[in-house]
Structure 1
Amino acid sequence: MAVGGFSKLPSGTVVVALALTHPADPAHRIRVVVHALNRQRALTRLSNLGFRGARISGNAEPPTPDEISAVLHHPDGLVWRDYRARTSDPWHPISALNRV
């Protein structure tokens, strides 16, 4: 189970943030942020990308305002960066995940 959380936006959509293992390097953790209509759709989007075990239980690490802003301003509504990244480090589109 991944550590993460969610925030419901005034529009009714949600932003889900999860700490997951990198698909190419299991020792490397990343923070993935997804914008979707609801939590289940966000998890389905991650599952379709190969994160089959992505589940959320509770709200231990909800998305920060920086994470919400980053995902809302990205056309795909799905971004990631290193789990231990500083707040000044850039967010990456999910398409760049396997190139790192």
Structure 2
Amino acid sequence: MAAGGFCKLPNGSVVVAMTLPSPGPGGGSVRVLVRAANRARALTRLRNLGLRAVYLRGNAEPPTPDEVTAVLHHPDGLIWRAAPDGAAELWHPIRALLRRGAAA
């Protein structure tokens, strides 16, 4: 089960953060951030990308203020990076993760 959480923004939208297993060989995990109108739509956006078994149960790992800022400034509102937060790694658009998983 994926660990994650959400936070509600003043305008009524939400930011959902989830730690998911990384696709492809090499293992590890990735932190995925999604901005949407509500939690259900955020999860639907992930499921439409092929991440079918994504569920958010509870609010154990909500997004940090830095993560919220990162996803708000991205035009797609859907970003990822390796889960053990390495300060040197930047956020990537979700297309880069899906290409990496498909290449494996």
Larger displacement relative to structure 2 (82-91 or 52-61) = 82-91
TM-score by length of 2: 0.89
Aligned length: 100
After superposition, residues 32-43 of structure 1 pair within 5 angstroms as 32-43=32-43
Give how far 1:83 is off. Answer: 0.4
**Identity percentage of aligned residues:** 59
Runs of 4+ in 1 over 3 A off after TM superposition: none
Distance of aligned partners of 1:15 and 1:55 in 2 relative to their CA distance in 1, 3 Å threshold: same
* Matched residue, 1:9: 9
Cα RMSD for the two superposed structures: 1.5
On the 8 A contact 1:23/1:51 being kept in 2, the answer is no
The structure having more radius of gyration, on CA atoms, is: 2
What stretches of structure 1 of length at least 5 have no aligned partner?
none
Q: Give per-residue Cα distances to partners, 1:16-38, cap 9 Å, x unaligned.
A: 00001122237221000000000
Give how far 1:12 is off. Answer: 0.1
